[in-house]
Structure 1
């Protein structure tokens, strides 16, 4: 893919690391979703306006270290100014640029640093480097999140590349979460929007680290159209599965990197009568602090799991429910004898834990991804702005 990138160390991050990313590409079809938090950040408000009038974009600019959230009219003007500076230095129109910010809430952007950083990044464009791009958008991330793959349609190869950031304030509803996926296929925007809706619900809208929905959550898919492959009704399902593959990889990386986390937990709900119920049940477990702390302590406390489900008041017959941790059955309509020591060892020795809950009410299923909650999460967030 003919995507160019530039990065800069503008001095926004206290660490002094890269904190400006500019991505440049030919005018491209795109689809974007954003946080539904009522305190949406200035760049989210600005981007939603752009998305309402612009069918194609040619650039993305991101600053890290400052969220430009809860910053009022000046914050909006600064987001627009970021787009203007980027456009002027790339020789494109302002409306072709989407703007993103991530970091501390409630602080105005240091626009002198931002402007100098954007100018530096646009002057030093290079081939798209996934790791360096992911590094430039990271904040409290413990590792850089990126993934790429290829697909094949009618003997022709297409490419998909993705980057993301996020470790805390992760409970997307479209956390601080940013994600960008690029592909070189040709696709009409209405169909790409459908793919986006399908993919985001099963990936970035099905993860939670701390139940805190961020002000800046954003996910964008860009299709540059450089490839001869055209996505239509005959191949859209296969294409969506490939986009889903990349999105799920990135989403799981975010959960795995949850602040202070030691375990990635996959919660699978089977046999619900509706998809909505399956997701709500999975989410209820994933956001229970009692459940998450039990996972941190390697405690197979099934009562906490079922109690989290019960508080939904969803007319579930618990006499028909079966619950597994890993391959171990721990509840079957009533308490059962199980080898606790064996399950504790499973939890201690595995960084990825499966929770499988069978409701036996219907045919619908859902998977949700979360992490355990331990001492380190409190330490990181107690000291975040100090």
Structure 2
């Protein structure tokens, strides 16, 4: 029997156990620390069985506190935490159907890899033969077969993180909680481990909940993402929806890079608003927000031309080249469009003609983007 088969076989059955059904329900949960500090403010989140779910936000937004309440290391001030159909209010951390991988790995330095991985089973008093078999299977699962006799100091950071993953998975939890597990790795290794975590989650099929402040990490790994700020869940959506259709200015600005142009909007027609900005003049756009708004457009959706486009379905503005950052496959070009408003355009370097890939300071161009790529966002 494979590790995947065993994980599925040993999962407790419940009314919420079918794939795609909720396995975690965070119901109106708040956490207030002494002194009135509200770390989490009436959060409502549902995580489905088999999802790779991300809690994303800046430092201090409450995402780690929320993860710790799932693990049982913190108690909600109000609200309910439901895991696999059971209220966790009185359930101790070691009795919950979850396991946690910490940012610092928490690998025991004085134990070999196999002893680290087997630690939880030994504490549970499992038979020696079962411990040996499951340890070998868990190491194979994280691609560390044959590394069992090594000591942690003999392994790279990425390998130590895999040891921590194997140690968590060997207990066969219903939910694996990951607290910024890749933050200590260098950029290239982080990217490789992101792919490994996705592969691992798809292989074992259990629910992963990861906490991260890295937007690209969440976008590339998660099925759905909850964006938090100041203890409040601002939006929950799939990565593409979150990137292309952020619901407010904070989410738009936090997810990836985006240009935000201050403007005023008045209702024009159903689902249309008339937007006025000193930078771009007056234009009618799809949107609901009125009053003081921000026009939001992603840098990769901006095009550059020497002649003014005549297409009525685009927004146009004159811009002067400011800073240019060359990254090989593309360049970040900042344009001054007046009123101190910079516009960033990602310009792909699609040919080897260096002259055509070069922008000089103070050169002027027409910038344009499709109206349909423009978001009208309130606060």
Q: Same fold (TM over 0.5)?
A: no
Higher helix share: 1
Greater C-alpha Rg: 2
TM range (shorter): under 0.3
Higher strand share: 2
